[in-house]
């Protein structure tokens, strides 16, 4: 290795008796997500100490989605839901004319953004089927083609006699 290049670093090893611990900064809701996903990823080798930040960010995104959904489902003192998809505001100008404006609820915007963020980390962790398709599986080793190279497989081609 050339001296100017950085040496590969590792932050530790993961074994069945020493699983990857969650980062200490996670909230209780984020830890709940971690405790669900970490056991799914560790046996497949998709969760390492080096890559645990990706899972932490995914857990943060899922926790934010859960908080936004909880806020959307909240009810007021009268028992009616407080969430509205469209927010209307009515203003009256000096001439007495009413002006109605409609805006999308900011919770919808935040929910879409956190869902998109979660989807990106989900792909990084290979948790969705589309990402799993793009990851090559192990190459099966059979006796017929063991140790063969593409050159051996395709051959040298036909050479014309001189």
Asked if residue 66 has pLDDT above 80, the reply is yes
Strand pairing of 86-92 and 98-104?
A: antiparallel
Asked if residue 95 has pLDDT above 60, the reply is yes
Burial letters 61-89, b for 16+ CB under 10 A, else e: bbbbbeebeeebeeeeeeeeeeeeeeeee
Asked if residue 63 has pLDDT above 70, the reply is yes
**pLDDT at position 58, please?**
95
Sequence-distant (≥ 6) Cβ neighbours of residue 68 within 8 angstroms = 107, 110, 111, 114
* 42-45-51 Cα angle (round to 5): 80
**pLDDT at position 13, please?**
47
The model's pLDDT over 9-43, given as tens digits with 9 standing for 90+, comes to: 444 444 444 578 889 999 999 999 999 999 888 88
**pLDDT at position 20, please?**
83
Asked if residue 159 has pLDDT above 60, the reply is no
Task: Count how many Cα atoms sit within 13 Å of the Cα of residue 36 in the half-sphere of its side chain.
Answer: 11
What are the angstrom distances between the C-alpha of 104 and each of 84, 95, 121, 162? 9, 28, 26, 78
Q: Kindly indicate the confidence band of residue 82, based on its pLDDT and cuts at 50, 70 and 90.
A: confident
């Amino acid at each position: 290795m050339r001296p100017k290049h950085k040496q590969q670093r590792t932050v530790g090893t993961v074994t069945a008796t020493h699983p990857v611990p969650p980062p200490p900064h996670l909230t209780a809701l984020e830890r709940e997500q971690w405790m669900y996903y970490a056991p799914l990823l560790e046996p497949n080798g998709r969760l390492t100490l080096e890559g645990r930040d990706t899972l932490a960010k995914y857990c943060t995104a899922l926790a934010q989605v859960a908080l936004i959904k909880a806020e959307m489902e909240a009810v007021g003192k009268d028992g009616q839901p407080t969430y509205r998809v469209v927010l209307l505001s009515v203003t009256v100008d000096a001439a007495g004319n009413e002006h109605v404006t409609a805006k999308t609820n900011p919770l919808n915007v935040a929910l879409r953004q956190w869902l998109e963020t979660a989807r990106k980390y989900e792909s990084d962790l290979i948790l969705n089927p589309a990402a799993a398709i793009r990851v090559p599986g192990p190459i099966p080793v059979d006796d017929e083609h063991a140790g063969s190279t593409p050159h051996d497989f395709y051959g040298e081609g036909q050479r014309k006699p001189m």
